[in-house]
Structure 1
Amino acid sequence: MSVAAALPLGATASGYSFLGDLRAFERNDAGATASCDGAALRLHFVEDDVVRVTLLREDRRPRLLTHALVGREPDPVEVTVEQGKDATVLATAAMRVELAHRGCRMTVFDGAGHVLVQDDSGMGTGWDGNEVRTWKRIAGDERFFGLGEKSGDVDKRAREWVMWNSDTPGYGDASDPLYQSIPFFVGLREGRSYGVFLNNSHRSRFNLGAGNHRYYSFSAEGGTLDYFVFAAPRIAEVVADYTALTGRIPMPPRWALGFQQSRWSYYPDSEVLSLARRFRERGIPADVIYLDIHYMDGYRVFSWDPQRFPRPAVMLDELGDMGFKPIVIVDPGVKEDPDYPIAREGLAGDHFVRYPDGETYVGSVWPGRSYFPDFARAATRAWWGGYLARLREQGVRGIWNDMNEPAVWGKAFPNEVLMRDADGAADFKRMHNLYGHLMAQATYESLRAARPDERPFVLTRAGFAGTQRWSAVWTGDNVASWEHLQLGIRMMIGLGLSGAAFNGTDVGGFEGTPSGELFARWMQVGAFSPFFRAHTAHDTPGQEPWSFGERIEAVAADAIRQRYRLMPYLYTLFHQAHDSGAPVLRPLFWHHQDDAQAYAREWQHQFLVGRQLLVAPVTAPGVALQKVYLPAGRWLELGTGEVFEGGRAVTVETPLERLPVFLAEGGILPSQEAMQYVGERDSGTLTLDVFAGANDDGFDLYEDDGRSHDHERGGYRLTRLRAQRDDGVLRLDREVVHDGHRVPARMLELRLHDIAEPPVELSLDGTRLQDKAWHHDPATRVLSVRVREHGARQSLLARW
């Protein structure tokens, strides 16, 4: 006899109470509320393919979380309701929710009638005191991706994952939880995607088939069971729906895509300036230098050490003159010091978190005994933001929020401490996972208010769902090992699938010292990571591009220069993330969802950068030959010019100087001249590498000023680039489809790949090109054409 048959629905032998039978059903415009024995379920359709499910308990007042949601006004959704003898069905144009009358068990179908999410028949939804949980039937082929910053494989199945922001230095592949909590995953069942977002900030658990083959479940230790189910058929659409709900990354300043150099710590000011000069003297591009905690006076936030940095504004100006954008670390702990103005003001303004009896909480962290700002209060965010604005006026260009899990020595920030949220006081059981999110909000909003026409840059260690609206993220205190290089790639993929598109690792590893080979391979990965920063701990040797000898310096410098050359392509991908939520760094299955090999563990360290580029990094020592899986289609290896048929694994040579990068057929890759820093000068040439085929995927190149918010008012240019090759004819079209931003005059360097013979005819806009305007190299099979960019449309035609 099955468990469901042995125990009546609603049985509490396990300690849980379960939803009982349907007793009443009340319809509204966007869904319905079903009253069941013991509680009620509210079903609210946010979109045609998004339903919100909320458990309404008779013994609990619902207090729904708003911090992760953007609060937009949704379009009305047409919902039909059909009540049958055993079940009631609510349907939209894209999904169907069936509620069984016995036990109020819910099943979510896509528009074609395929099961996506199905309550376990014996348990469904239940609670045990403050804990709320729902159990879902797991299919044999079900996969789970996302959950934000998590260790393990890209597929999160067969483990239980905890959402509780934790300072976990030197974490490993089995470590959990880590610094950020994003309770959202993308599921894949019989090839069809769906998503689930648990809108609850309490400590939560996602058991994705760990220790059983019957169910997956998600739960929270308090608050309301409030979750969204997304029923889009493609993974990209699920992430788009999720980020429409929780927000997308703002367009970053373009310089934030440049190379960033950090360590714990560069000091005094003479060392910082010497570091900057060495980059420029060696001709290695870089945009950012970080100042870690040793720039402060006794770790007092918003202070400068008077011996190490006696004239900070002068130093910051000198860095700016060399093209560097200095970023400083800002920790939330405020030193308990009666002579310290920040501490006095914070106490006087009631800006610090408190115990329930009103006493100000004091914990120990870098400054010693410290207070912690109550970032849930708008007044506190504004007070804190005023000091951030002063840093910006001194010449600081970005803020690095650290230790904001919040971390304290002993790793036990008290749960009973209170923050005062917009709807009343709330303890840290509810607010702990939101602390870093609210600190990031305070930072972004204050920087934008201080410089309304300048894009802020914020980096955070801790966060929650929706933090991507305020900040870039990185994967915390990793380790200098080959295992962590691999883990970092998987973590970046997971973060991107969870809405946090602007993410990266500490290149080279924070703890320990990499070998030269590991550092070089990590720099190659960093060049294609959304956030590209080298960083290391205070007790390690230097970890700059030149720290490992001439050969490694040459490899590292080449990776950095490649990053700067690809800036037009990468910047466009950031706009795609801003516009649709699509990650910059994508798993193979993002664009190849129906390819079983795209999910194989063997290939999980390969990734796509946008649609066009496939990167297959070397993640183990001494690898001179590497197997690479290429999805269906033809692929051009950019380093060698060799063309491969996809749908299979191929073997490529991988000397230390080579990172295998492939351009998909139909792809157009824009690039520019490498510069010492972003904006050093106008790029006089836009290069387009074209691998034309029968399809014309092409590329839509996005450009704006890279610094202001004019793009929000239409101040950008969008250029549609398309190439097609068939029956001895290759056609390349360029069309400006939105022209709200002036681009300086420039040349177009067109490199047409896989061209065995020179054309018999080559024309631009119907005018035959002179021989001096183009060149064919039979050795590389590249046809190079150089023309001036002009007008809204241009068309190159080649015939053989």
Structure 2
Amino acid sequence: MARRVSIVFLAALLGWFAGVLSQSPTTTTDTRADTVFTLPPNADVGLPVIPNIQDPLAIDPQSVCTGYKASKVRNVSNGITADLSLIGEGCNLYGNDVKDLTLVVEYQAADRLHVEIMPKYIGKENSSWFILPGELIPKPGVDDKDCTSKSDLAFSWSNRPSFSFNVTRKSTGDVLFTTMGAHLVYEDQFIEFGSSLPENYNLYGLGEVIHGLRLGNNLTRTLFNADVGDIIDANIYGHHPIYYDTRYFKVGGKSEKLTYAPKATDKSAKYKSYTHGVFNRNVHNQEVLLKESNITWRALGGTIDLYFYEGPTQDKVTKSYQRSAIGLPPMQQLWTFGFHQCRWGYKNWKELQSVVDSFKKFEIPLETIWTDIDYMNQYRNFENDHVQFPYGEGARFISKIHDNNQHYIPIVDSAIYIPNPDNASDGYPTYDRGAKENSFMLNPDGSTYIGAVWPGYTVYPDWLGALFNSTGTNKWWSSEISTYHEKIKFDGIWIDMSEVSSFCVGSCGSKNTILNPVHPSFKLPGEPGNKIFDYPEGFNITNATEAASASAAASSQSAAASPAATSSISALYHRTTPTPGARNINWPPYTINNFAGDLGVHAVSPNATHHGGTQEYDFHNVFGHQILNATYHALLDLFPTKRPFIIGRSQLFGSSKWAGHWGGDNYSLWSYMFFSIPQALSYSLFGFPMFGVDTCGFAGNADMELCSRWMQLSAFFPFYRNHNAAGGISQEPYVWSEVIKASKIAMKIRYALLPYMYTTFYLSHSTGSTTMRALAWDFPDEPWLANADRQFLLGDAVLVTPCLEQGATTVKGLFPGVGSGTVWYDWYNLSAITGVTAGQNVTIDAPLGHIPVFVKGGNVVPLQQPRMTIADTRKSSWSLLAALDGKGKAGGGLYLDDGESLVPNATTWVDFSATETSLKAVPSGNFTDMNMLANVTIIGLPERVHGVQFDGVEVKSGWTMDGDSKVLTITGLAAYTVDGAWNKERNLSWRFE
């Protein structure tokens, strides 16, 4: 919910060049209808900086730095250690060179190799400069003390001309990572290392970013969590320094010889792929430079803490990464998979009730209603507006929706209002209680750091101090959540602004709290004079020009993300040089390509200090991670037996243990609907299965066609929410009749698939498998799928091929695996897809209101009857769809529990297996489900059926056979399963003539 602040950044940069230097406050009238002070436009303008990658005066470290020499190499259990010594005097280019380093190489598991390089001498005073505490982010250790010989990874090193190393896959001889040909640079504020890459490489990951799934070979990926909105190719909310490298080889000859295939155009050839992962456990601000033939990592601190995952498939890398480094995602409550409705701009409880009533009126399922910052008392956490959102009326509203098995979730921001000391009526107990616990970040001089966000001048919870028991931040946070729940019975929490955001540079409120509350320096959406995107994209233009319009919009935003090269005015930029014995905290000598420029712009300043002495410079990207941690445990304190439901914006590797993520402040543009797919798939790689985006777009105005297509697409994302900004037109699905129809069609499929989706998510939770999948992952031997990100798989069985172009009535799609025998069936008519060849881009009918969905042969998919809420759906009868593969077989599973318990008292797993003549369901576990099995559909049969038996009893009526489509439909099974469908083994069989 960055609230269109990217426009503010551009205006601020222009303001600096115009010489706007005054910090004097001005006045205006805001939406609270009283005169308040407004932050001046230049409050959020930092010093002018230019990213080193764009700076014509920047020096390439490889041209002046000399690297290190290895010595005292020692074989130790599971690896080696060595000393690395700086060659010569070093370069001290973007920091002070660290002269002595330690190398540690560990084979931690058969599929995981650890390579770490860190300073040999680290004192208590500078430990945070380099060492990421294990208490904060657990450090993977050795799982198998006898794994060295088992590993397919081999480590080697050389001192010619300086220290370098290789990681090789032994089975293929392929070099996965090599620093040969480049010097290691290790300074107190700058680290550089890298590897060459093969031709036409396929890399994925390195987020968070709005980009295609496959990363290009001419881009810079900046890792600095920022509140900037969903700007294409800019650094946004998350920090995930891991990439997946997939390499395709052509298989030829009797010996099955592998030949690297950078351009696999021969679809009749046989291919094999290998995927490995590279994770750099470093939370400092970073850049990753992808060039035509190499990757270069640059970090502003920390260590080189690399973990190489052997794979050789994406699935194995993802599972190993989660098990070893970041943890498995939490299981979600069943109701969270329903449809969620929100907007910034719901004015009061009555309007919320009207929205709920409208969903009911138009018979559109609604599971959860959310409120954005409108409900707050002057935008203050844990306090409601007493006029528009009074507690008594709220309690009645929430009680009513709870009685209907619906839910309520409020937003909680990451900064805390500090009351005006000169205004006795401005008291804010949440702040007072936090101050008593020393809960807030400090300035270097020990005073409280005071920035500014929505309510005015604000303070920031010090999660780092809490981690090391220097503050009571976590205890205070848990208490505030509990106290608020006594007034408003929310069902989960939405964490926002957690990058962490500030609307001014530095501790701008330190001497200005007597001005509180203050208005941001920019107009909020919906305020007079702030009209953005009055017309939906493509309004009054032809379909032929729409694609160009979307492309131009995307290009303009991407261009805005990076200042133009300005060698003629390069002297105007602020640059620093290394200071011996110290670090330049606010303006490090190396300038990363941060969208906002100066690291202190629209963010808490790097010199903000935590209790215990560490600085924000070293832990900026951790704030969002720790507020999710604190919120998760606060909800556990509140509901000890229930699974917490949290959706957060800023996150770090490992945040997926506690929360889901939504894609942030996107736009009501066709291009952003497309980008939601690669963003979701990237988050599958990062270990976040509970992911979704603001359906129909957050900023700007959607129209009927865009919202129809988007409501259908998002129906197949685990987190499904419609949300838009204040000032835009309403976009609830009932606003347009065509969107009502489209939404109902997609929601009917989604709710029918609820048991399948829940089971798939359970596997993500328990094993680390992905819920949303790229086609290339499940079909790793088809190189033409490497860049396929306009389709996706939901679990193993469901293929979604959405229409992503305005005005289109057809869509192009691939049917992966058909060249090797995979069978696909149309969800709607159950017919097999025929006449398709490997890699063929097929034209599929997709009239407005229809989203093409297909089921993969070989799967038994459990279904239930879709209802208006998840609770009612869960009480409905069961169905099975058995889609036979080319060999006449299918299998699947169903996970059952109570849908909410953190540790369920009872669970059941049902194994399904089908052949051309039978279907068997074998349950194991102790969860009792009394819903009956109503229907079974078998598709892909070889011939007409002439008799059916269920549990040994002849089914004389209630079944039909469509001989043309080879579909057997069996109804009326409820009479045979009154004791519950899955409380004992079930056997269904049929016979041919």
Q: State the TM-score, normalizing by the size of structure 1.
A: 0.91
The amino acid that maps onto 2:832 is V
- 8 Å Cα contact 1:577/1:584 also seen in 2: yes
The match for 1:143 is 202
> Secondary structure in 2 aligned to 1:426?
coil
Alpha-carbon distance in structure 2 between the residues aligned to 1:307 and 1:465: 41
Identity of aligned residues (%): 26
Report the CA distance between 1:54 and its aligned residue: 1.2
- 8 Å Cα contact 2:882/2:890 also seen in 1: no
Q: Could you say what the CA RMSD is over the residues aligned between the two structures, in angstroms?
A: 2.1
> Secondary structure in 1 aligned to 2:872?
coil
The match for 2:897 is 704
The match for 1:388 is 481
Alpha-carbon distance in structure 2 between the residues aligned to 1:768 and 1:445: 54
- 8 Å Cα contact 1:142/1:188 also seen in 2: yes
The amino acid that maps onto 1:25 is V
Q: How does 1:353-368 map onto structure 2 within 5 Å?
A: 353-368=441-456
Report the CA distance between 1:467 and its aligned residue: 0.7
Note the alpha carbon deviations across 1:697-755, whole angstroms, 9 max, x for none: 521111111111233x6x21111112223xxxx3212111x313111241241011244
Alpha-carbon distance in structure 1 between the residues aligned to 2:146 and 2:73: 18
Q: Comparing 102-111 with 243-252, which one deviates more in the overlay?
A: 102-111
The match for 1:742 is 928
The amino acid that maps onto 2:71 is R
- 8 Å Cα contact 1:385/1:447 also seen in 2: yes
Note the alpha carbon deviations across 1:48-69, whole angstroms, 9 max, x for none: 2112211123465551343674
The match for 1:84 is none
> Secondary structure in 2 aligned to 1:439?
helix
Q: Say whether residues 1:53 and 2:101 are aligned partners.
A: no
> Secondary structure in 1 aligned to 2:214?
coil
> Secondary structure in 1 aligned to 2:935?
strand
Alpha-carbon distance in structure 2 between the residues aligned to 1:643 and 1:744: 34
Alpha-carbon distance in structure 1 between the residues aligned to 2:853 and 2:62: 57
- 8 Å Cα contact 2:62/2:183 also seen in 1: no
The match for 1:156 is 215
Alpha-carbon distance in structure 2 between the residues aligned to 1:534 and 1:682: 23
Alpha-carbon distance in structure 2 between the residues aligned to 1:64 and 1:17: 27
Report the CA distance between 1:12 and its aligned residue: 7.3
Report the CA distance between 1:448 and its aligned residue: 1.0
Report the CA distance between 1:18 and its aligned residue: 1.7
More strand by share: 1
The match for 2:400 is 318
The match for 1:460 is 648
Which residue among 709, 716, 728 is the counterpart of 1:521?
A: 709
Q: How does 1:748-759 map onto structure 2 within 5 Å?
A: 748-755=934-941, 758-759=944-945
Which residue among 826, 847, 862 is the counterpart of 1:655?
A: 847
The match for 1:785 is 970
- 8 Å Cα contact 1:756/1:778 also seen in 2: no
Report the CA distance between 1:206 and its aligned residue: 1.3
Report the CA distance between 1:640 and its aligned residue: 2.9
> Secondary structure in 1 aligned to 2:383?
coil
Alpha-carbon distance in structure 2 between the residues aligned to 1:761 and 1:109: 58
Report the CA distance between 1:412 and its aligned residue: 3.6
Report the CA distance between 1:649 and its aligned residue: 2.8
Q: How does 1:757-796 map onto structure 2 within 5 Å?
A: 758-770=944-956, 772-778=957-963, 781-786=966-971, 787=973, 788=977, 789=981, 791-796=983-988
Alpha-carbon distance in structure 2 between the residues aligned to 1:682 and 1:114: 52
Which residue among 402, 414, 417 is the counterpart of 2:496?
A: 402
> Secondary structure in 2 aligned to 1:679?
helix
The amino acid that maps onto 1:54 is E
Report the CA distance between 1:205 and its aligned residue: 1.1
- 8 Å Cα contact 1:437/1:463 also seen in 2: yes
Alpha-carbon distance in structure 1 between the residues aligned to 2:442 and 2:982: 63
The match for 2:437 is 349
The amino acid that maps onto 2:939 is H
Alpha-carbon distance in structure 2 between the residues aligned to 1:669 and 1:79: 39
Alpha-carbon distance in structure 2 between the residues aligned to 1:695 and 1:114: 39
Residues 60 and 123 of structure 1, relative CA distance in 2, 3 Å threshold: farther
Note the alpha carbon deviations across 1:570-611, whole angstroms, 9 max, x for none: 1011111101222211100110111112113xx321000001
- 8 Å Cα contact 2:408/2:491 also seen in 1: yes
> Secondary structure in 2 aligned to 1:452?
coil
Alpha-carbon distance in structure 2 between the residues aligned to 1:717 and 1:301: 41
Q: Which runs of 5+ in 2 are unaligned?
A: 1-59, 87-100, 124-129, 249-272, 422-426, 505-601
The amino acid that maps onto 1:341 is P
Alpha-carbon distance in structure 2 between the residues aligned to 1:292 and 1:774: 50
Report the CA distance between 1:128 and its aligned residue: 4.0
The amino acid that maps onto 2:67 is F
Q: How does 1:365-384 map onto structure 2 within 5 Å?
A: 365-376=453-464, 377-378=466-467, 379-384=472-477
The match for 1:76 is 144
Q: Say whether residues 1:577 and 2:656 are aligned partners.
A: no
Which residue among 820, 824, 829 is the counterpart of 1:635?
A: 824
- 8 Å Cα contact 1:618/1:659 also seen in 2: yes
Q: State the TM-score, normalizing by the size of structure 2.
A: 0.74
Note the alpha carbon deviations across 1:416-460, whole angstroms, 9 max, x for none: 00224xxx5321122111101100000011101221111110010
Q: Comparing 45-54 with 779-788, which one deviates more in the overlay?
A: 779-788
Asked which structure has the greater RCO (Cα within 8 Å, sep 6+), the reply is: 2
The amino acid that maps onto 1:396 is F
Residues 696 and 219 of structure 1, relative CA distance in 2, 3 Å threshold: farther
Alpha-carbon distance in structure 2 between the residues aligned to 1:285 and 1:207: 45
- 8 Å Cα contact 2:500/2:603 also seen in 1: no
Q: Say whether residues 1:716 and 2:907 are aligned partners.
A: yes
- 8 Å Cα contact 2:861/2:880 also seen in 1: yes
- 8 Å Cα contact 2:109/2:147 also seen in 1: no
- 8 Å Cα contact 1:143/1:187 also seen in 2: yes
Residues 13 and 201 of structure 1, relative CA distance in 2, 3 Å threshold: closer
Q: What is the aligned residue count?
A: 760
The match for 1:127 is 186
Alpha-carbon distance in structure 2 between the residues aligned to 1:308 and 1:791: 50
> Secondary structure in 2 aligned to 1:37?
strand
Which residue among 80, 83, 94 is the counterpart of 1:32?
A: 80
Note the alpha carbon deviations across 1:639-669, whole angstroms, 9 max, x for none: 2333114523322211112111111111222
Note the alpha carbon deviations across 1:398-425, whole angstroms, 9 max, x for none: 10000111111141420000224xxx53
Q: Comparing 455-464 with 224-233, which one deviates more in the overlay?
A: 224-233
Residues 754 and 29 of structure 1, relative CA distance in 2, 3 Å threshold: same
The match for 2:749 is 562
The match for 1:330 is 412
> Secondary structure in 2 aligned to 1:490?
helix
Which residue among 665, 668, 681 is the counterpart of 1:493?
A: 681
The match for 1:181 is 239
The amino acid that maps onto 1:724 is T
Residues 665 and 594 of structure 1, relative CA distance in 2, 3 Å threshold: same
Which residue among 48, 65, 78 is the counterpart of 1:16?
A: 65
Q: Comparing 344-353 with 95-104, which one deviates more in the overlay?
A: 95-104
The structure number with the bigger radius of gyration is 2
Residues 492 and 355 of structure 1, relative CA distance in 2, 3 Å threshold: same
The amino acid that maps onto 1:75 is D
The amino acid that maps onto 2:379 is Y
